[in-house]
Structure 1
């Protein structure tokens, strides 16, 4: 039996369609024991995205970004967030979009892009699926200053650090972004063994 056979949607209300789309849905779900249970859930649809870890094996370094994130600020995080470059797909294929996004944010034009995995980042309320990539870089691959898109409110700084410093940043809390932690852990296991 498909999960679709276990869900009956009764009502969908759009609560907000400003920045992204917030909906409240009343549905019934057929439980494992066969009983139907009515539930309400809010879902936040911001579209799917992609993220990438740039790495240099010879230098044992990675490229990360630093930027202001209002949601983390209002949750008590009083610093710029250190992250892997990322962005929404905006109807593009994940690899196409991440190539453009990494150049816009970091100024690096990447060659080989390796798909790593896909993950739902907050499946209890956010519909977004994130496509994870990794790509090697060299200093000569930098074709512009990067910094993001001013029209989108981006003011992105660039960090180049050793993978060991980045991994230590996870332990100290300097790096606390989930997608970045996931890619750094992947790199520790599969790239910088």
Structure 2
């Protein structure tokens, strides 16, 4: 009996080897087999499939996919003061891959955990920054690393000010989060993108959106 397939894994999941077997949207792709490699917390699979190339011939291909669920992120901004509210936290994958100390400046973000994206990002904003935001604007939804990671990330923006702050933020201590809230002048934040001091993709994307089409765009 295999956890995650025949019996529940540590998160109570079964049938994790069935993902993708019923896909019919692309007639040039025929899934042969799905093998579960790991379901310790997120899910790693190897899928074998037949693929029809543009010239008509078929080949057998294999891909690993990492399924961590879908997520949401939000840029909190104060257009009157020209500031944005970010977080700083330790990211081991960045640290082990060359970031000097692993401490990344980021927009508030988190996984959906079966919530609707807007509800999830309101929760994450409150937990991480201490601000309870009102209306949020959906900016776009994208695949962040489609070569190997299944995640779709929903991007939002929302105004903040002194009145929206209801707590200290910092994340959920019981989940091991240790998050610093960082307020930056918007133009300084863009400078940090240029220098590479802001190196998180979702944050760069939202800051550039804010400059081009969002609250700090030149009208």
TM-score bin, normalised by smaller chain: over 0.9
Q: Deviations over 1:39-98 (max 9, x none)?
A: 010000000000000000000000000000010111121231000000000111000100
Q: Which has the larger radius of gyration?
A: 2
Q: Which runs of 5+ in 2 are unaligned?
A: 1-23
Q: CA-atom RMSD, angstroms?
A: 1.0
Q: State how many pairs are aligned.
A: 192
- Corresponding residue to 2:156 among 129, 133, 140: 133
Q: Deviations over 1:99-137 (max 9, x none)?
A: 001000000000010000001000000000000000011
After TM superposition, the structure 1 = structure 2 runs for residues 20-59 of structure 1, keeping only pairs within 5 Å, are 20-59=42-81
Normalising by structure 1, what TM-score? 0.97
User: Which residue of structure 1 lines up, in the alignment, with residue 99 of structure 2?
Assistant: 77
- Corresponding residue to 1:12 among 30, 34, 41: 34
SS in structure 1 of the partner of residue 204 of structure 2: helix
Post-superposition shift, 1:19? Answer: 2.2
CA distance in 1, matches of 2:106, 2:59: 40
SS in structure 1 of the partner of residue 26 of structure 2: helix
Post-superposition shift, 1:172? Answer: 0.7
Q: Which runs of 5+ in 1 are unaligned?
A: none
| Larger helix share, 1 or 2 | 1
Normalising by structure 2, what TM-score? 0.86
> RCO (CA 8 Å, sep 6+): is it higher in 1 or 2?
1
Moved over 3 A (4+): none
